[in-house]
Structure 1
Amino acid sequence: MELIQEHTELAAYLAADDVVDHDHPLVQETADALWTATGDAYSYAKVAFEFVRDTIPHSADSGDDRVAWRASDVLDTRNGICYAKSHALTALLRARGIPAGLCYQLLGDAEGANPVVHGLVALRLPGSEHWSRVDPRGNKPGVDAQFTLDREQLAFPVRPELGEIDYPGLYVTGHPATLKALQESADRPQLMRNLPTAL
């Protein structure tokens, strides 16, 4: 899928902000530890993806009612929904100079009804001419997202026949609709009610 960059400058996808706060000491410490175990950009990106996917439970799976949205808070609480986990992975990638951005899908239930926006990450390894999407949501029965840059293996391939959408935008920071849901929800049940149904 061809992603449309929000900014033409690649440097924008390396920046830190309140959401993707890779200048935070916890993000830096985590990135340092993961880098020491790898030593090159591809291996680091894969390990960072697996770290977020596998060691930070998706709160809808774990039942954790806390709502984290800032990357450092996601790493600290080891908790978050797809948007929050995507913020954490984006921060870890940028902490090691790998351009990364946020992208989104519109997904429905088994019948395609009750649509909600789902968040994931796109990264661009050094020397690459294209962005690759990966989904750190967290695997479970029926969900098998993998770090495969030559072909996508996302948590949820879209079903266009049911009205599902791969949004083409690539965002430097969280989309305002997703941030509003995260920041205005006191707990996970409220967050589930506040999830955006479109971008």
Structure 2
Amino acid sequence: MLARGTGICHAKANLLAALLRGFGIPAGFCYQHITLADDDSLGYCIHCYNAVHVEGRWIFLDARGNAGGRQALFSPGKPILAYPNRSEYDEYFWKGIYASPQMGVMRMLDAAVTRQDVIDNLQDYIEGEPDIPGW
């Protein structure tokens, strides 16, 4: 992320978690099953966002940034993430907080040379069980 000056949600969430942890703030990773397009014609991928432990509770932050008509906002109450779930397209949250990023995605990002490499190799499944189930 830092070397390239850009990155997808997974890279941004990884950087945010590292920065927060560097300041002693517990942070983890959460995932959402979303479509690659405005409908399900191109299949699915995993969107990554962060869980941050603040004042005795977990809040959820989306480091993705606001672009392309998406609006993720800081909200200590209900999360305001970039992608609202659309049940008609089988979009949903994986319930739980993971201590580590999805290693398959991290390996893919390390190996990717172009943006198309990233798009072509996004996984649509989660590896492992959450470290903190539910939320």
Q: Please indicate, yes or no, whether the TM-score normalized by the shorter chain is above 0.5.
A: yes
Larger radius of gyration: 1
1:167 is paired with a residue whose SS is strand
User: Which residue of structure 1 lines up, in the alignment, with residue 26 of structure 2?
Assistant: 99
Structure 1 match to 2:39:
111
Tell me the equivalent position of 1:70: none
Regions of 4+ moved over 3 Å: none
Question: Residue 58 of structure 2 corresponds to which residue in structure 1?
Answer: 131
Residue 78, structure 1, aligned to residue 5, structure 2: yes
Tell me, what secondary structure is at the counterpart of 2:50?
A: strand
1:191 offset after TM fit, Å?
A: 1.3
Higher strand share: 2
Please state whether the residue corresponding to 2:80 is helix, strand or coil: coil
Question: Deviation of residue 133 (structure 1)?
Answer: 1.2
With structure 1 as the length reference, what TM-score do the two structures score? Answer: 0.58
Which runs of no fewer than 5 residues in structure 2 stay unpaired? Answer: 127-135
Q: What is the total number of aligned residue pairs between the two structures? A: 124
* Superposition pairs of residues 1-199 of structure 1, within 5 angstroms: 74-108=1-35, 109-113=37-41, 114-125=43-54, 127-128=55-56, 130-199=57-126
**What is the alpha-carbon distance in structure 1 between the residues aligned to residue 90 and residue 112 of structure 2?**
27
Alignment RMSD (CA, Å): 1.6
Question: What percentage of residue pairs aligned between the two structures are identical?
Answer: 33
Letter in 2 for 1:110: D
**Uncovered stretches (5+) of structure 1, i.e. residues with no partner:** 1-73
Q: Distance in 2 between matches of 1:177 and 1:133?
A: 23
Question: Normalising by structure 2, what TM-score?
Answer: 0.83
* Deviation for aligned residue 1:96: 1.1
Hey, which of these two has a bigger chunk of helix by percent? 1
